[in-house]
Structure 1
């Protein structure tokens, strides 16, 4: 079985660049870009960052998680590039545990101004909402603060390949593994 590495953070944090570079360092590997799943709605689509999109994003999110686990079952490292909060990562880890797949998570969290600048400079990307960027950055920052999570990279100037190497080194050290609680009386994995 392979492992899953979730590379997450707010928009503009460098998830796609770091995720791609990380997938190039792992062998065999699959890069799963979560945005692809959210962009499959053809008619009646609601921008996935809007609250009223929740029914659509729930289905797309579950499809992305299922595909992630299925690729990992092939024995490949799967780099999941997308916005995935702690609760959704726990859902993924529980699903993956049933398949014998481990999940690791790293949060990219450069300063909010760096994220906003990157989002504003994008071309050909469907997301350009500065308010939603600030909100998601605040949510990731609050989560990191409340948990003291060591799996948060706050670098905003390091190149993507250097950050990917740091993530790989953290993986090797076991610092990114998501722990899934086994229900009392339940079987251990």
Structure 2
């Protein structure tokens, strides 16, 4: 059984670049991009960051978690790249524990101005809302206030590969594990 490594944070925090670089450092690995699941809605789809999208995002989130756990059954590291707050990470840890896998979570949280600048200048991405970016940044900042510093990567100057290497080292040291139900065997330390 493989383990799940969540790379999360607000828009513009570097999730996609760091997640891809991290997946390249772990062997065997699979990369699951949560945005794919949230982008499946067509007719009647609501942008997933809007409050009225909650019914759709709930279904998409559960589908992403189920796929993540299924990939973990392949005995690979599964890197989950997407917005996943602490409560949802605990839900994922419970689901993964039923399959014998553990969940680890790194929150990327550069300064809000860095996130805003990245969101404003990126291309090929459908999200560019500065108000939603500020809101999500504030939510992550409040969530990690007082948590172990190891689980939060605040460095905005390092390259994605350097941040991925730091996350991998924290992962292998056991510093990123999401508390979940006690399981017997199967999951990597």
Please report the TM-score for the alignment, with normalisation by the length of structure 2: 0.95
> What does residue range 84-99 of structure 1 map to in structure 2 within 5 Å?
84-99=84-99
Confirm whether residue 120 of structure 1 aligns to residue 105 of structure 2.
no
Partners in 2 of 1:171 and 1:44 — Cα distance?
Answer: 39
SS in 2 for 1:127: coil
Equivalent in the alignment of 2:177: 177
SS in 1 for 2:80: strand
- Deviation (angstroms), 1:150: 3.0
Equivalent pair of 2:150/2:170 in contact (CA under 8 Å):
no
Partners in 2 of 1:138 and 1:171 — Cα distance?
Answer: 25
> What does residue range 12-31 of structure 1 map to in structure 2 within 5 Å?
12-31=12-31
Segments of 5+ residues of structure 2 without an aligned counterpart are: 185-189
Aligned residues: 184
Partners in 2 of 1:21 and 1:97 — Cα distance?
Answer: 26
Structure 1 segments of 4+ aligned residues over 4 angstroms from their partners: none
Equivalent in the alignment of 2:152: 152
- Alpha-carbon RMSD across the aligned residues, in angstroms, is 1.0
SS in 2 for 1:12: coil
Confirm whether residue 9 of structure 1 aligns to residue 9 of structure 2.
yes
Partners in 2 of 1:57 and 1:142 — Cα distance?
Answer: 22
Please report the TM-score for the alignment, with normalisation by the length of structure 1: 0.95
Equivalent in the alignment of 1:137: 137
CA shift in 2, pair 1:148/1:174, >3 Å: closer
